[in-house]
């Protein structure tokens, strides 16, 4: 197998958890949802997978069986065989609703705290290190968000923009942190529950950010990205309050 | 309901809930003091034998009070026999089971939990009254984002230590958010050091310090002795 790209290494990085089969299912499902793994793509061979995930063959087979069960992957025999991604996992509205109900405001704030720290450093480095072609690519990725027509594609476009922005900062550790943070919240941002997030406003903010990076204005870029994250965190908290505590306001009236 | 009524209603509900916790902690510290007085039987310093039955008080507290994730007793170094630095703390595990929590009490060690220097202990020790500390990350202790309610206890008038409980911010939110949501504008419960314990919107986020008092921002002290809590709320600017 060819050396995995940094993205692939991130998807297949070794697992900290005990419930490893579930974690593998989760990791691969999210990677497909984020567009890091595409429909039709072949996963690495089982031996390589168990090696990269740091699990035994039995655990890996259990995870693949679950993914087959969900219809997300398919295993074909023979010379050109292997395990293939065959379907986008559906946006799990129920799972996301459950995330909102089970995640407290202090935890959402904390995600925002970490994201702000990572993004502030990332965007300053991007100002110093991004190449002209990075800027073109980032503009293209920013526009992809406004062109997207479904929540799934918006989530994918939004996270892709932020991950590629981190890639242009050329710090693999910061890029990995950005991927992890995107995996954690991007579906929640774009799955419409109460009030849907406005893709045009988000795109405008992304484009303004790219401009600041292109013009090497680290102060401005940092300010913009922090405002962007703050707005997203407010949105998540508002959604949390609407889904979790809608009843209490009515009780008081 | 007009804004003032909303606020009064919310403040009363919060005061009532927090007073309930305060009363539970007061009772815990009283029970701890009674048990020690019995076990000490005239001696003045605590040793291992004196602690018999103490963990049962923590367990009973946690069984009765589902809002708390941990409860127990910390002793002042001077009330303990030489060499000892005792505490008895129980916490609720993920599974719901209640078990003892151990801390590193070796001075100089990397993970030394110097509880006498922590505000929940030192404030209760110096004032002789109940305290509420947090939100804070209890590093080397429970290691989560918590509030700690604590009350000092005395045997024959001598300060012996502090009994208290921990509440996770995550667990507190569903318990008091409905009260804060009675207020339609932005509002938050604020601790004695002017930081947010819980707000009813993204405007006041847990842990943040309230800096400027704008003319639209009002403050109402909550009538819970010694804890220094208040409710702040914002009213829309007066139309001219």
Q: Do A252 and B6 touch (CB under 8 A)?
A: yes
Tokens 């109900």 sit on residue: A101
Q: Do A106 and B201 touch (CB under 8 A)?
A: no
Number of domains composing chain B: 2
- State how far the Cα of A211 lies from the Cα of A209, in Å rounded to an integer: 5
Residue B6 belongs to a domain: no
Q: Clarify whether residues B22 and B130 are in a common domain.
A: yes
Domain containing residue B224? 171-234
Quote the tokens at residue A102.
Answer: 């089970």
Q: Clarify whether residues B74 and B56 are in a common domain.
A: yes
Q: Clarify whether residues B112 and B63 are in a common domain.
A: yes
Note the pLDDT tens digit of each residue in B94-151.
888 999 988 888 888 888 888 988 999 999 999 999 999 999 998 888 889 999 999 9
CATH number at B133 reads 3.30.450.20
**Residue ranges of domains in chain A, CATH in brackets:** 6-85 (1.10.10.10), 93-245 (1.20.120.530)
Q: Do B198 and A233 touch (CB under 8 A)?
A: no
Q: Clarify whether residues B20 and B121 are in a common domain.
A: yes
Please say whether the beta carbons of A85 and A32 come within 8 A: yes
Quote the tokens at residue A182.
Answer: 């995107």
Note the pLDDT tens digit of each residue in B196-234.
999 999 899 999 999 877 888 999 999 999 999 999 999
Supply the Cα-derived Rg of chain B in whole angstroms. Answer: 19
Residue B128 belongs to a domain: yes
Min distance B202 CA to chain A CA atoms (Å): 5
What is the pLDDT at residue A71?
85
Each of the 253 residues of chain A gets a pLDDT tens digit; together they read 556 666 667 677 766 545 788 889 989 988 888 888 888 899 999 999 999 999 999 999 999 998 998 888 999 888 888 999 988 776 678 789 889 999 999 999 999 999 999 999 999 999 999 999 999 999 999 999 999 999 989 999 999 999 999 999 999 999 999 999 999 999 999 988 878 899 999 999 999 999 999 999 999 999 999 999 999 999 999 999 999 998 654 444 3
φ and ψ at residue A72, rounded to 5 degrees: -85, -35
Q: Clarify whether residues B150 and B188 are in a common domain.
A: no
Stretch B14-41: mean pLDDT: 96
Q: Clarify whether residues B45 and B141 are in a common domain.
A: yes
> Computed from CA positions of residues A234, A238, A244, A249, in that sequence, does the dihedral angle turn out positive or negative?
positive
CATH number at B210 reads 3.30.450
The 8-class DSSP code of residue A39 comes to T
Q: Which of B138, B176, B181 to mutate to test the interface with A (most CBs of A within 10 A)?
A: B181
Residue B83 belongs to a domain: yes
Tell me the longest C-alpha to C-alpha distance in chain A: 68
CB contacts under 8 A, B 44-83 vs A, are none
């Amino acid at each position: 197998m060819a050396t995995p790209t940094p993205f692939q290494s991130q998807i297949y990085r070794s697992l900290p958890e005990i419930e490893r089969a579930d974690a593998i299912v989760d990791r691969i499902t999210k990677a497909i949802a984020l567009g890091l793994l595409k429909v039709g793509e072949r996963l690495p061979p089982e031996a390589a997978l168990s090696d990269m995930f740091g699990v035994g063959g039995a655990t890996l087979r259990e995870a693949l069986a679950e993914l087959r069960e969900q219809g997300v992957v398919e295993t074909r025999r023979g010379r050109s065989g292997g395990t293939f991604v065959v379907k986008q996992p559906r946006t799990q509205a129920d799972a996301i609703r459950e995330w909102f109900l089970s995640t407290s405001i202090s935890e959402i704030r904390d995600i925002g705290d970490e994201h702000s720290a990572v993004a502030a450093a990332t965007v300053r480095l991007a100002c110093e290190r991004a190449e002209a072609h990075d800027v073109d690519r980032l503009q293209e990725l920013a526009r992809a968000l406004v062109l997207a027509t479904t929540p799934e594609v918006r989530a994918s476009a939004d996270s892709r923009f932020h991950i590629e922005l981190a890639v242009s900062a050329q710090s693999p550790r910061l890029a990995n942190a950005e991927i992890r943070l995107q995996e954690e919240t991007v579906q929640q941002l774009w799955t419409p529950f109460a009030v849907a997030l406005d893709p045009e406003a988000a795109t405008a903010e992304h484009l303004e950010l790219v401009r600041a990076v292109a013009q090497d204005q680290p102060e401005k870029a940092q300010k913009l990205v922090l405002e962007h994250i703050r707005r997203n965190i407010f949105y998540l908290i508002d959604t949390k309050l609407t889904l979790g505590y809608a009843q209490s306001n009515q009780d008081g009236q | 309901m007009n804004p003032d009524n909303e606020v009064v209603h919310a403040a009363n509900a919060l005061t009532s809930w927090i007073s309930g916790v305060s009363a539970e902690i007061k009772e815990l510290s009283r029970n701890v003091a009674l048990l020690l007085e019995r076990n000490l039987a005239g001696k003045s310093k605590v040793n291992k034998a004196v602690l018999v039955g103490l963990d049962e008080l923590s367990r009973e507290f946690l069984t009765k009070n589902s809002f708390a994730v941990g409860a127990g007793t910390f002793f002042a170094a001077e009330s303990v026999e030489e060499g000892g630095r005792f505490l008895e703390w129980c916490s609720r595990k993920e599974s719901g089971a209640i078990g003892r929590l151990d801390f590193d009490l070796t001075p100089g060690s990397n993970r030394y939990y110097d509880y006498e220097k922590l505000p929940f202990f030192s404030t209760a020790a110096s004032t002789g009254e109940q305290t509420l500390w947090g939100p804070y990350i209890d590093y080397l202790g429970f290691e989560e984002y918590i509030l700690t309610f604590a009350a000092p206890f005395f045997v024959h008038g001598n300060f012996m230590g502090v009994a208290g409980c921990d509440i996770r911010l995550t667990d507190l939110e569903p318990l008091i958010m409905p009260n804060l949501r009675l207020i339609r504008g932005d509002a938050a419960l604020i601790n004695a050091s002017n930081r947010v314990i819980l707000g009813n919107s993204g405007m006041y986020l847990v842990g943040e310090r309230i800096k400027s008092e704008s003319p639209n921002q009002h403050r109402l002290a909550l009538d819970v002795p010694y804890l220094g809590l208040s409710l702040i709320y914002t009213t829309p600017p007066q139309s001219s």
